Structure 1
Amino acid sequence: MENLIKRIAYLQGLAEGYEIDKESKEGKLLLGLIDVIYELVDEVKESQEDLEEYVDIIEEDLSSLEDYVYEDEYDDFDLYDDYDDFDFEDELFYDDLDDDCDGECDCCEEDSDEE
């Protein structure tokens, strides 16, 4: 952006240095175009600064929200680092299933055939 501002200032200096007649048709056109370009660059610069400020505010808000939402979530993973707390024994799992079985299922018939 600063490069554009410098280039516009250079064009303004050239226009003054060449002593462009402000009263001629061509002079009015060239000087008017340089002024319009300068104003456009100035507006774009202001808009960009406003946008950068707005993005910074959103980034801060998002960071605060992430801290609030994910604050406890990362702590929970540390609780399960020791897998010894979880005893998954197949016998206990299948014993629970056998209590509900009435003896007429396919698995029970296979067990009785093997004996």
Structure 2
Amino acid sequence: MGEIKQKISYLKGVVEGVGIKDDTNEGKVLNAILDILDQIAAELEDISERQDEMDEYISAIDEDLADIEDEIYDYADEYDDEDDDDTNYIEIECPNCHEVVYIDTDVFEDDEEDVICPNCHQPIYEYEGDEEDGEDSDE
């Protein structure tokens, strides 16, 4: 910005050096143009300062956001790791309603209970009893 102000000052010196008087039509026009150029240079300097402040502010916000993202993603990764260790799901299409459902594999460990669809509430997997002996556990 200093360069623009220097050039405007130089132009003012040239106008004075050439001998253009303020009371002539040409002098009035040139001085009005130089005054406008001074105002434009001052506004540009102000905008540049504000832009620098905004850049610093945005950088600080970006750093804060990066810290927050790291915290959230670290927490999510920890949660996912814990979840993966404790629970496993399988994807099954219900033979009754044909919806894809996710069933905790622990449900299949209890061989004496039916697996029920959470959508249609019909059995996806039915307990058949002890087929080797031909006996049913209900008998």
Q: TM-score range by the shorter chain?
A: 0.5 to 0.7
State the superposition RMSD in angstroms.
3.6
Write the letter of the residue equivalent to 1:55.
Answer: D
1:25 alignment partner in structure 2: 25
Q: Unaligned regions of 5+ residues in structure 1, if any?
A: 81-95, 102-115
TM-score by length of 1: 0.60
Q: Which has the larger helix fraction?
A: 1
What is the alpha-carbon distance in structure 1 between the residues aligned to residue 19 and residue 42 of structure 2?
A: 25
Return the offset for 1:65. Answer: 1.6
Deviations 1:3-37 (A, max 9, x none): 21211110011122222110011110011101111
2:2 alignment partner in structure 1: 2
1:13 alignment partner in structure 2: 13
Q: Which has the larger strand fraction?
A: 2
Q: Unaligned regions of 5+ residues in structure 2, if any?
A: 82-107, 109-124, 126-139
Deviations 1:71-107 (A, max 9, x none): 3636987xx9xxxxxxxxxxxxxxx8xxxx9xxxxxx
Return the offset for 1:67. Answer: 0.5
Return the offset for 1:46. Answer: 0.6
Return the offset for 1:59. Answer: 1.4
Identity in percent: 25
2:46 alignment partner in structure 1: 46
- Runs ≥4 residues deviating over 2 A: 71-77
Return the offset for 1:55. Answer: 2.1
Task: Give 3-state SS (helix, strand or coil) of 2:22's partner.
Answer: coil
1:64 aligns with 2:52: no
What is the alpha-carbon distance in structure 2 between the residues aligned to residue 12 and residue 74 of structure 1?
A: 62
What is the alpha-carbon distance in structure 2 between the residues aligned to residue 31 and residue 47 of structure 1?
A: 24
What is the alpha-carbon distance in structure 1 between the residues aligned to residue 12 and residue 39 of structure 2?
A: 12
